[in-house]
Chains A and B, each alone.
Chain A
């Protein structure tokens, strides 16, 4: 048994190593006609490439190829600019059809890079696919499957003894978080074309929240007792976190550099949608594989608990079918790419002009998608949440939730349970909701008025900043990159605007709650420790008070890990108005004394 696990782990690491190496192993060489759709630009870039020696040179790795390509395109840009300066625009040609706009540079780099592949991976993609993904999957399964032979029951042994699961002390944790935030905000200035105003606004919002939590509400001195104890620092966790953060940074902001990985899944993309893989296809594919493999792990771990098994099966299904396969098949059928389970405001591009136009231009199906998307927002969310709580989405359907519940399960104990974290959470998640709503309203006003300018605001910039800060940096870089550092629901807890919306319904109008079984709680703390949303479940359980919290995603793990069977996720309409206040503890006294809390 142990030997199989060891072999599995070894294979997994070989796969991971080779996967990482692919970035370097894939080679690039300009050949044939460049993948640039504008004739003027293509000719200019081809000439510049011939001059700089890029055209016809030796195959080279992405680290040299991409920067050289960028310089080449910039040369072409200034060549064209010089021509225009000298001779003016040719008759009948629009300015940006002739000159190369700055915003085009990224696009050209990425299309030229992806059509210039040479080297081992593009020659035998299947072999490399096997050596990376294949070994990773086989290794992972070999590591996981022996757990099915163990007796069913909670298996949290050694969670806090393992370097990759035990999290960070407060100081290093704060350091990694601050560095990441500073990096993101700094890069944001570049991303917004040198405009610092967005970064400044964000810093101001952050400062206000910190002021309110730390000073106004006086919890600066309330040390978060439940951040890791002294002398605990998991180096392996830091490494994993940095790897994930790096992955997301490349994925969102420098996708040309991960061409090596994209090539690995090219054949699969061709087979599914008929087109070559993009970085998003790679991401969707990896995401699905991880949710499936780690979902199997989750089922092995909680197979004494049917709720966990069904729920995990559900997120595996929705990820594979709804998030991955169906959209690709839609594309193959020449229909718009559409994820039927993604709901605004998590799906923040839903009301963007290009999306609306795409749907409106796609006939009956497009209209159906539009109506479906709106119905999810205004009908499904409130109604289903009323009946079952936000869990129906967050831990049964959602992709972010799916990843958190599978790949993220080993890290659920790292969520911060302090009161302070809860205060911060309430500010940030609702701030993001407000930001999402305001951004969408501005975008819609622009859509109907046809102008991005709205007084002093530019809706185009607002949405770009939202996409950068919330859509990419928060949801991806921080949301997933911080799994091993701050728990698996960083995004869902502090950032997701849809979770905020679902949470409001859950808190104020829902049948859902976690009931506490009389006086059976022994205050052991397993429930709080393993609550990925950082809810101090024990606080309620030991007082015999039912738990109604807007952030609870109903994962049911608190109930699963409780050694005394104290917690149960339930729905009832009978006592909706009082379900938060009712304290049903059986404590002392005959019936004449009603003891509360």
Chain B
């Protein structure tokens, strides 16, 4: 069987690797952006000089040949559904038995005037990175439109080169459509601490042409203020990249619609990762989850299905992580920005305003539902087990040290958290476990 995969991002590559692990099928991965798989999440580190391009490639270049995964560095122009082949821009068409679409996302553009000028880019691809590098010499100011996880990375990139940055963010606190108010305020403070000109609660008016087709300034819609700049970053989210299949028989919504088995409406064609939209997501989950982890899990799932072990896509508990400049962020389970009636929350924040712990629980049963962590690392497996086991807040608090994943000797804040809880509730809980791997293994039933 010949399996053709379009897109060498994490979802396509994970699928390829696992198919190879489990079978002898012929595998071809076609991608236009780069010859080899690279970590998209690490693009920023190349610009900042933490790593070279070669360092963000998770596998050495010989890996593919050795594992008999054929790489084709080309653009897929269209799919010939009847002939079961993909038509390439440069090379000859390639026939497939099964086709996997893993085409990823593209940066959102909301029809702003001037959005197609030169020096206006998103931050998604290798080419975007190269554009940033190209425009950096002599750059006096960059404007970033849109908050969120990519905007903050772009801001950090420019700040690493001492380029002044203005961020135009619609929300009234940074990313407060996802983060609860306290955390959003903390991040807003931290962004300003890094001398980034953060404009909250405003929208982009237009991007102004310098007369030669290049952006030279933007205006703010609400105030009309003009901000001169040599680069405009558009980081107001991403949307699935579906132009390849849009006009064909495959059903699409915002993304490529797939069933539980990640199969599209055309049998034998699957879609994964950022470009896929689940027809029936799990309760509480979104149909498109454009994150690294989802792509990876989908890749594994489809590999099972295509190698004789048909598996539905069942992501376990929601988790994610990110970094806002110097502050690391981890989330496990449900942590809504606006608490619904039936949920309550325990929130602790360090006096330096750069660390916080939040536990969300059901008001009625006190079963724990989610963890939100800033500047503190918690163990994935432990948090997940508590949430899946519906452990009560009291149990979790008494055992909370099991979850701590900060490096050795780092100050632990579990006692502060419990003290605060005791004070607020009049209870007298105390920590009964230590941060100790043996205890964690026992808790997780992983001890042999």
Residues of chain A whose beta carbon lies under 8 Å from any beta carbon of chain B? 151-154, 156-162, 221-229, 232, 304-308, 310, 413, 418-419, 515, 517-520, 522-526, 528-529, 538-539, 542, 556, 559-560, 563-565, 568-575, 577-578, 582, 584, 586-590, 593, 595, 597
Contact = CB atoms under 8 A, between A and B. Distances in A.
Contacts of B323: 563-564
A539 B57 CA distance: 11
Contacts of A305: 407, 410
14 contacts: A156-B50, A157-B48, A227-B54, A229-B52, A523-B292, A524-B56, A525-B51, A526-B45, A560-B407, A574-B442, A574-B447, A588-B297, A588-B316, A589-B301
B416 to A, nearest CB: 16
Interface of B: 10, 21, 39, 41-42, 45, 48-58, 60-62, 160, 193-194, 292-293, 296-297, 300-301, 304, 311, 313-317, 319, 321-323, 325-326, 328, 330, 377, 379-381, 384, 405-411, 436-438, 440-442, 444, 446-448
Contacts of B315: 588
Most buried by B among A229, A308, A518, A582: A518
Contacts of B437: 515, 570-572, 574
* Closest 6 pairs between A and B when the two form their complex, measured CB to CB: A518-B380, A153-B326, A565-B377, A572-B437, A524-B42, A225-B60
A223 B321 CA distance: 33
Contacts, number: 197
Contact of B49 (A157, A304, A563): A157
A510 to B, nearest CB: 13
Contact of A587 (B297, B326, B381, B408): B297
Contacts of A560: 407
A586 B384 contact: yes
A418 B55 CA distance: 11
A229 B315 CA distance: 37
Nearest to B411: A306
A222 B60 contact: yes
A225 B56 CA distance: 11
B302 to A, nearest CB: 10
Contact of A588 (B62, B311, B377, B442): B311
A587 to B, nearest CB: 6
B440 to A, nearest CB: 8
Contact of A518 (B313, B325, B384): B384
A153 B384 CA distance: 28
Given A225-B62, A565-B321, A572-B441, A517 B316 contact: no
A565 B405 contact: yes
A224 B446 contact: no
A560 B409 CA distance: 13
B330 A520 contact: yes
Contacts of B448: 574-575, 577-578
Contacts of A227: 54
Given A151-B326, A523-B58, A565-B330, A572 B436 contact: yes
Nearest to A420: B60
Given A227-B54, A520-B330, 14 more contacts: A160-B52, A224-B60, A229-B52, A305-B407, A307-B409, A522-B42, A523-B58, A525-B39, A525-B55, A563-B323, A574-B447, A577-B448, A584-B446, A586-B380
Contacts of A588: 297, 300-301, 311, 313-316
Contacts of A154: 326
Nearest to B375: A304
Contacts of B325: 151, 153
B55 A529 contact: yes
A523 B56 CA distance: 8
Contacts of B51: 160, 413, 525-526, 529
A565 B405 CA distance: 8
A587 B300 contact: yes
A528 B380 CA distance: 21
B10 A157 contact: no
Contact of A228 (B52, B160, B296): B52
A573 B438 contact: yes
Contacts of A587: 296-297, 300, 316
A256 to B, nearest CB: 43
A519 B293 contact: yes
B60 A419 contact: yes
A574 B441 contact: yes
Contact of A158 (B49, B57, B300, B407): B49
Contacts of B42: 522-526
A584 B381 contact: yes
Contacts of A572: 436-438, 440-441
A523 B10 contact: yes
Nearest to B21: A597
Contacts of A520: 293, 319, 321, 330, 380
A564 B321 contact: yes
B407 A526 contact: no
Contact of B407 (A153, A556, A573, A575): A556
A152 B193 CA distance: 12
A402 B266 CA distance: 62
Contacts of A542: 58
B60 A538 contact: no
Nearest to B317: A586
A574 B60 contact: no
A575 B447 contact: yes
A162 B325 CA distance: 22
A160 B42 CA distance: 15
Contacts of B58: 523, 525, 538-539, 542
B55 A528 contact: yes
A563 B328 contact: yes
Nearest to B313: A588
A306 B56 contact: no
Contacts of A307: 407-410
Given A307-B408, A524-B41, A582-B446, A223 B441 contact: no
A156 B408 CA distance: 22
A415 to B, nearest CB: 12
B407 A226 contact: no
Contact of A519 (B52, B54, B319): B319
Contacts of A160: 49-52
A517 B379 contact: yes
Contacts of B314: 588-590
Nearest to B404: A568
Considering residues A154, A232, A524, A577, which has the most beta carbons from chain B within 10 angstroms of its beta carbon? A524
Contacts of A578: 448
A162 B108 CA distance: 35
B50 A225 contact: no
Contacts of B446: 575, 582, 584
Which among A224, A526, A563 has the highest number of chain B CB atoms within 10 Å?
A563
A525 B56 contact: yes
A589 B311 contact: yes
Contacts of B381: 518, 584, 586
Contacts of B441: 572, 574-575
A265 B246 CA distance: 77
A306 B410 contact: yes
Contacts of B48: 156-158
B133 to A, nearest CB: 11
A106 to B, nearest CB: 46
Nearest to A232: B52
Contact of B326 (A158, A304, A573, A577): A304
* A306, A515, A565 pick with most chain B CB within 10 angstroms: A565
A151 B50 contact: no
B383 to A, nearest CB: 9
A226 B54 contact: yes
A112 B384 CA distance: 74
B308 to A, nearest CB: 14
Nearest to A156: B50
Contacts of B406: 565, 568
Contacts of B55: 226, 525, 528-529
Contacts of B407: 305-308, 556, 559-560, 568-569
A534 to B, nearest CB: 12
